[in-house]
Amino acid sequence: MVVIMRKDATARQVANLVSTVEGWGCSVHLVDQGEQYKVGVIGKEHPDIAARLTSLDGVDAALPGNHPFSLASREMQVRDTCIPLNGTAIGGDCLTVIAGPCSVESRSQMLEIAHAVAEAGATALRGGAFKPRTSPYSFQGLAEPGLELLAEAREATGLPVITEAMSADQVRLVANYADVVQIGTRNMQNFQLLHAAGEIGLPVLLKRGLMSTIDEWLLAAEYILSHQNWQVILCERGIRTFEPSTRNTTDINAVPVVKRLSHLPLIVDPSHSTGDWHYVSAVALAAVAAGADGVMVEVHTHPDQARSDGGQSLKPERFAELVRQLHQVAEAVGGRVPQSHAS
Amino acid sequence: MVVIMRKDATARQVANLVSTVEGWGCSVHLVDQGEQYKVGVIGKEHPDIAARLTSLDGVDAALPGNHPFSLASREMQVRDTCIPLNGTAIGGDCLTVIAGPCSVESRSQMLEIAHAVAEAGATALRGGAFKPRTSPYSFQGLAEPGLELLAEAREATGLPVITEAMSADQVRLVANYADVVQIGTRNMQNFQLLHAAGEIGLPVLLKRGLMSTIDEWLLAAEYILSHQNWQVILCERGIRTFEPSTRNTTDINAVPVVKRLSHLPLIVDPSHSTGDWHYVSAVALAAVAAGADGVMVEVHTHPDQARSDGGQSLKPERFAELVRQLHQVAEAVGGRVPQSHAS
Amino acid sequence: MVVIMRKDATARQVANLVSTVEGWGCSVHLVDQGEQYKVGVIGKEHPDIAARLTSLDGVDAALPGNHPFSLASREMQVRDTCIPLNGTAIGGDCLTVIAGPCSVESRSQMLEIAHAVAEAGATALRGGAFKPRTSPYSFQGLAEPGLELLAEAREATGLPVITEAMSADQVRLVANYADVVQIGTRNMQNFQLLHAAGEIGLPVLLKRGLMSTIDEWLLAAEYILSHQNWQVILCERGIRTFEPSTRNTTDINAVPVVKRLSHLPLIVDPSHSTGDWHYVSAVALAAVAAGADGVMVEVHTHPDQARSDGGQSLKPERFAELVRQLHQVAEAVGGRVPQSHAS
Amino acid sequence: MVVIMRKDATARQVANLVSTVEGWGCSVHLVDQGEQYKVGVIGKEHPDIAARLTSLDGVDAALPGNHPFSLASREMQVRDTCIPLNGTAIGGDCLTVIAGPCSVESRSQMLEIAHAVAEAGATALRGGAFKPRTSPYSFQGLAEPGLELLAEAREATGLPVITEAMSADQVRLVANYADVVQIGTRNMQNFQLLHAAGEIGLPVLLKRGLMSTIDEWLLAAEYILSHQNWQVILCERGIRTFEPSTRNTTDINAVPVVKRLSHLPLIVDPSHSTGDWHYVSAVALAAVAAGADGVMVEVHTHPDQARSDGGQSLKPERFAELVRQLHQVAEAVGGRVPQSHAS
């Protein structure tokens, strides 16, 4: 339920609404939209709640949610959310290009790649220190020493750092080093982790589960938002289908669907959604043409020696060419978000 | 198995190869690549066939097929196939924009829409006279009178016409009226129909089965090619997945995958792959950014009155805006095919 | 829309209903349920049709269809359809076991296998004379000579014969030799073929499309039923999913779902739904335990020499053991259809 | 890599093997198979490891793993694992029937249902105290007070208790109350949780991820086994497909596949795999006919008042009827595991 306050509502009326609603055992999320307040009312759903809410002073309308998510919805916030990040931003008019290796492997590897992607035009740096691996016998990441190397690479390049946390404990540890905490595809419905991510002050990049519907994904974002952390970046990274020629299937439809349903920024990860460097550039360009706010791409200076995902990593020179094309496509579509959802 | 002849091979050597191979009970497809001949050898696979072939005079190399399809493969033909069509072409440097209603409904409807899409920049006209429908109780199309209206619309606008045939009989009927015969998604493995399409002299637009892998799709094309009809246009129209927010999932990965595996032109149909007009423009732009040779889009002047698929049809003014953006994106990516497959 | 006549309705009242409804441009299907008539009304759906129908003399009720299919639904016919076949039957209290090779390959192969499966307890014989093959270069079946061998095997064993037709022409040809015409998974929505199958007097075994929903499957059956051919046998043969360890995924849920929605008999084909003989017996037993009316199983005396699908064929001795277990499971569940749909 | 020791190998030879292998930086899992030892060697894979191992005294053979999992494989242990549980067992010759409500809701609800399922023939009791919920606004379970109610229900009925833990912390808490710790479908690849489950002394019921392959599932089991906790019970609970008529698709093929690949016991949860009580009995019977070691079924005395999953819960009387049929089917197939994997 989203309550829209009248433009001339007083602070007292807003406060009264909040205390009334909390008195019903519901929780409240207040959004200042400049001209007017919106209030997300979450909790008990009794039949006459809309009538009760609209009878309160200063209330303009009470809209039943069209979707199971509420805080993430366009109804709650019409304008796109824009998340500041080290002098740049994710969302709004910015084109985000996150790049780096799959795993942090060593100091020389990390610094070499960081400099290469910075030079090629990346706006942020990625790299995994904690690696979720299907097999217990695969390389599991460097852990905290990997985080230290990421922090060093940020110092060296000025690029903000994005890296994954796999548990509530790791969220707090990662927050000491990183600028954005990533929640991986296998953990999209790890609810403890979502709660922990909601309670830190950092932006969270939430990957879509490879088997999750868009509604489930936005509900996972809702877990984070409901802790008052509104800095959530969605990342489409491919879904699992019957097609065997690529590792996953990029759900390009998800780009305009999410842009219509939600105000949150959305990027696409073509490295994981294709699993093959031959297809990464084509799909990255498609993502921006479809209206995504950017891409996250794996880059490695020596893909054949990478400890994970070498086959889907671009070399720096090819990545530099991609960045040039991404800017051209972004310009061609006149901003990244075709405004069909505003129809 | 693809045999590459030496550049200085004589006609006699080529003829000798053909008769030798046919003597083994194999069939032969000869492709003149300008500088040199390539020969597709199809049939019995015995272990020493490569050795036997390379021992023949004039043979440069015999390449085992990497794929179950052979004639459709890049190994058989490196350059992109380009299909001439009423003064324009599909494939190569051309951007194809096919547009029109889902079904031909009446003379006034068809002519009104045909003029509208011609004016907006379409390069070909679509419209169904025979409609495959899941339910026996749904509108099944106008049949031959619908074909006559399509031919009239071509006269009026100059646009070539693409329409579907659902059986071998209909292929021959449709060929009397249309410029391109479409094989629909449910018929991708209707082998009688594929044989019939191989035997007419017209280009064939082959939609991917909504449950078919890319390999199966290229093998369906192979049925047509093996009748010496090389004018096959592939059309990605979405695959079936678990995601319910769109009718199908556009397999955008398929664009660079097909471009790498095959020389055939490829277009994308975002109307069927999304099932919702809100998402059509974003996905059409994505297709061209990813390297597709064009798009096929449903347009209707009165979508709310359409007898089928109204909800996924664009209005003419929105379609005109899309055509403008498509040209900008095609220019931004410098031709439609990012050259990652040439790496 | 299903109209239920009163038990004391006169023949004149029924005739009046039929002529009235046909006067509206609808078609009518009359089902004599012993105690009372039911009438399927198909065609124009205008809002007040239920009111108009119930106002006619002799009409007890007019039920809006809950499903897009009508003739195939339980609302139209509560009791299970039972299809007589050479002294036995498919559906009702009978356990159907169809067995035989994937393809008819030669006279000796066909007769050897036919005798083996007859001895082991099969109730009908399968074998493909026309083979739909993904690749144009694979064995395509013996065609009419294969049909002659099937007819000879029927003479020799007394088993009724089931074989596939792939086009309307083949339906008429197959009907000269076979007892049941099979429509394969790739042709489930080949509507010309469905119409042709509706117009012959033989039972039709309709395989589910490997990516078709249950509703689409029942609508394909509706195409056949709407030609007044009520002898339709449904066959679940596995759907396409992401799981790679078996060729397809047997949709065992489909057994109780179809039994609840429809009166048509249902069998399961575990050979195609698993693609591996190791798993065939387990899944066949599961099918009967879940309430299927029987199974269709590939059997070959020399699986390693089979021209198609050898890896999923049982040897005769293993098949004989399976038949024994199937009878025990059928007895254990007290008839094949757990009566949960009668709740 | 699985090393098989000779039957006459001495303890000294085994100890030497272990220390040698550990000296290479590999870890070792020793399995006493009665007649002979098997040793799982896990870690570095260098090309000549098999040759080096077979050259050691007392070694009979060194088998390269056919699968990415090793400890869970049939190669490691031919006989079925059987897990003792409060005087009964899961696996081997036992038919396991776990039943209870989706969520623990109150003392009276839990005790009433516990007595009902005990009387009807259940062998273990289920009930969720911590509930993973897609929406942050849904009922999240009673937490520790729910665990206390489960323990009280065990006292009252004698049935062992199975309940879910969603984090490493919860594993330790649940272990204070429950007999078996469940890992849910969304957490199948929550690796922290798998490690924690490996380190408690209790059996672990590992649900398959709804979009996980069988190989990924067995690798998740491998995480637990690699901590020396061999008491792992696999639970198939349906996978996500395109079919909308049931909540998930029961992968019945997975039963014989898992039985062939692994020695671990396997049960099926038809309540979640269908999502509709109408279909639960049919699919439960199918599971046991296919060779599963048992089923887990949701039962509620007042399904219409359940706080979660009421629509898929059986009433006690229907459950009692199901238990009777399950025993008949188990008897009909002569033990639960058709021995096709021993072919």
Q: Which tokens sit at B62?
A: 């015999």
Q: Which tokens sit at B203?
A: 């280009």
Q: Which tokens sit at C161?
A: 């014969």
In chain D, % helix, strand, coil (3-state, to 5) comes to 40, 20, 40
Return the pLDDT at C339: 33
Q: In terms of DSSP bridges, do strands B83-85 and A294-298 run parallel, antiparallel, or are they unpaired?
A: unpaired
CATH homologous superfamily for the domain B2-63: Phospho-2-dehydro-3-deoxyheptonate aldolase; domain 1 (3.30.70.1140)
Residue with the larger pLDDT of the pair D227 and A124: A124
Return the pLDDT at C288: 98
SS3 B201: coil
Residue with the larger pLDDT of the pair A226 and C170: C170
| Contacting partners of chain C (3+ CB pairs under 8 A) | A, B, D
CA distance C215 to chain D (A): 8
Q: What is the interface pTM, i.e. ipTM, of the complex?
A: 0.90
SS3 B311: helix
Asked whether residue A127 carries a pLDDT value surpassing 70, the answer given is: yes
Q: How confident is the model at residue B22 (pLDDT cuts 50, 70, 90)?
A: confident
Return the pLDDT at D293: 97
Asked whether residue C106 carries a pLDDT value surpassing 60, the answer given is: yes
DSSP D257-295: HHHHHB-S-EEE-HHHHH-SHHHHHHHHHHHHHHT-SEE
Average pLDDT of span B58-67? 77
Return the pLDDT at A45: 57
Pick from A260, A277, A338: CB nearest B285: A338
Q: How confident is the model at residue C1 (pLDDT cuts 50, 70, 90)?
A: confident
Q: How confident is the model at residue C340 (pLDDT cuts 50, 70, 90)?
A: very low
**Amino acid type, D228:** Q
How far apart, in whole angstroms, are the C-alpha atoms of residue A254 and residue A236? 8
Residues A95-110: tens digit of each pLDDT? 999 999 999 999 999 9
Q: How confident is the model at residue B139 (pLDDT cuts 50, 70, 90)?
A: confident
Return the pLDDT at C78: 86
Asked whether residue B121 carries a pLDDT value surpassing 90, the answer given is: yes
> For chain A, how far is it from start to end, CA to CA, in angstroms?
23
Residues C192-229: tens digit of each pLDDT? 999 999 999 899 999 999 999 999 999 999 999 988 89
**Amino acid type, A177:** Y
- CA C169 to mean position of chain CA atoms: 21
Average pLDDT of span A52-72? 81
Average pLDDT of span D46-50? 71
The per-residue pLDDT of chain C, averaged, comes to: 90
Residue of C210, C214, C252 for testing the chain D interface, max D β-carbons within 10 Å: C252
How far apart, in whole angstroms, are the C-alpha atoms of residue B228 and residue D41? 56
Pick from C243, C286, C290: CB nearest D239: C243
Return the pLDDT at B19: 87
Is B285:A290 a contact under the CB 8 Å cutoff? yes
Return the pLDDT at D97: 97
- DSSP letter at B264 equals S
The per-residue pLDDT of chain A, averaged, comes to: 90
Candidate from A77-86, A242-251, D59-68 with smallest mean pLDDT: D59-68
Candidate from C303-307, D316-320, D333-337 with smallest mean pLDDT: D333-337
How far apart, in whole angstroms, are the C-alpha atoms of residue C117 and residue C319? 8
Return the pLDDT at A44: 59
Pairwise CB contact (< 8 Å): A290 & B283: yes
> Going by C-beta distance under 8 Å and a sequence separation of 6 or more, which residues neighbour residue D303?
D277, D310, D311, D313, D314, D315
Is A28:A41 a contact under the CB 8 Å cutoff? yes
Could you tell me the residue ranges of all domains in chain C? 2-63, 83-342
Return the pLDDT at B292: 97
Residue of chain A minimizing CA distance to C241: A242
Q: How confident is the model at residue A226 (pLDDT cuts 50, 70, 90)?
A: confident
Residue with the larger pLDDT of the pair A30 and D337: A30
Pick from C250, C259, C285: CB nearest D253: C250
Average pLDDT of span A202-213? 97
Pairwise CB contact (< 8 Å): B257 & A245: yes
Asked whether residue C48 carries a pLDDT value surpassing 80, the answer given is: no
How far apart, in whole angstroms, are the C-alpha atoms of residue B274 and residue A282? 20
Asked whether residue D341 carries a pLDDT value surpassing 50, the answer given is: no
Strand order across the B37-42 sheet: B27-32, B37-42, B2-5, B59-63
Q: How confident is the model at residue C336 (pLDDT cuts 50, 70, 90)?
A: very low
Q: How many residues does chain D have?
A: 343
Return the pLDDT at D179: 97
Closest listed residue to residue C282, CA positions, set D260, A241, D207: D260
DSSP D165-220: --SHHHHHHHHTT-SEEEE-GGGTT-HHHHHHHHTSSS-EEEEPPTT--HHHHHHH
Pick from C246, C252, C331: CB nearest D250: C252
How far apart, in whole angstroms, are the C-alpha atoms of residue C147 and residue B163? 36
- CA D1 to mean position of chain CA atoms: 24
Looking at beta carbons, which residues of chain D come within 8 Å of B241?
A: 242
Return the pLDDT at C278: 96
Return the pLDDT at D25: 75
Pairwise CB contact (< 8 Å): D42 & A137: yes
Return the pLDDT at B341: 33
Asked whether residue B66 carries a pLDDT value surpassing 70, the answer given is: no
Pick from D241, D255, D289: CB nearest C239: D241
Specify whether the backbone of B87 is left (phi greater than 0), alpha (psi in -120 to 50) or beta.
left
Return the pLDDT at A65: 63
Helix (H) or strand (E) holding A120: helix A107-120
How far apart, in whole angstroms, are the C-alpha atoms of residue D303 and residue D275? 13
Residues D174-186: tens digit of each pLDDT? 999 999 999 999 9
Q: How confident is the model at residue C174 (pLDDT cuts 50, 70, 90)?
A: very high
The per-residue pLDDT of chain D, averaged, comes to: 90
Closest listed residue to residue C204, CA positions, set C190, C215, C238, C214: C190
DSSP B319-333: HHHHHHHHHHHHHHT
**Amino acid type, A195:** H
Return the pLDDT at A41: 78
Q: How confident is the model at residue C46 (pLDDT cuts 50, 70, 90)?
A: low
How far apart, in whole angstroms, are the C-alpha atoms of residue B182 and residue B177? 13
Looking at beta carbons, which residues of chain C come within 8 Å of A240?
A: 242
Among positive and negative, which fits the CA dihedral A322, A323, A326, A328? negative
Q: How confident is the model at residue B45 (pLDDT cuts 50, 70, 90)?
A: low
Residue with the larger pLDDT of the pair D145 and D40: D145
Residues B173-194: tens digit of each pLDDT? 999 999 999 999 999 999 999 9
How far apart, in whole angstroms, are the C-alpha atoms of residue C325 and residue A183? 50
Closest listed residue to residue A265, CA positions, set A27, A90, A118: A90
Asked whether residue C31 carries a pLDDT value surpassing 80, the answer given is: no
Average pLDDT of span A187-195? 95
- DSSP letter at C92 equals T
How far apart, in whole angstroms, are the C-alpha atoms of residue C241 and residue A278? 25
The HSE-up count of residue B301 (CA atoms within 13 Å, CB side) is: 14
**Partners of A173 in beta bridges:** none
Q: How confident is the model at residue C47 (pLDDT cuts 50, 70, 90)?
A: low
DSSP H stretches of helix in C240-335: 254-261, 270-274, 277-290, 316-332
Closest listed residue to residue B115, CA positions, set B129, B94, B99, B102: B99
**Partners of B28 in beta bridges:** B41
Residue with the larger pLDDT of the pair D139 and B234: B234
Q: Which tokens sit at A118?
A: 């910075």
Average pLDDT of span B19-36? 77
Average pLDDT of span D227-249? 96
Residue of C239, C241, C242 for testing the chain A interface, max A β-carbons within 10 Å: C242
Q: How confident is the model at residue B63 (pLDDT cuts 50, 70, 90)?
A: confident
Residue of chain C minimizing CA distance to A244: C242
CA distance C244 to chain A (A): 9
Q: How many residues does chain B have?
A: 343
Asked whether residue B247 carries a pLDDT value surpassing 60, the answer given is: yes
Asked whether residue B340 carries a pLDDT value surpassing 60, the answer given is: no
Asked whether residue C155 carries a pLDDT value surpassing 50, the answer given is: yes
Q: How confident is the model at residue B65 (pLDDT cuts 50, 70, 90)?
A: low
Q: How confident is the model at residue A339 (pLDDT cuts 50, 70, 90)?
A: very low
Pairwise CB contact (< 8 Å): C135 & B187: no
Is A212:A221 a contact under the CB 8 Å cutoff? no
How far apart, in whole angstroms, are the C-alpha atoms of residue A234 and residue A258? 9
Looking at beta carbons, which residues of chain D come within 8 Å of A43?
A: 137
Is C126:C314 a contact under the CB 8 Å cutoff? no
Closest listed residue to residue B52, CA positions, set B39, B66, B62: B62
User: Please, what CATH class does the domain formed by A83-342 belong to?
Assistant: alpha beta
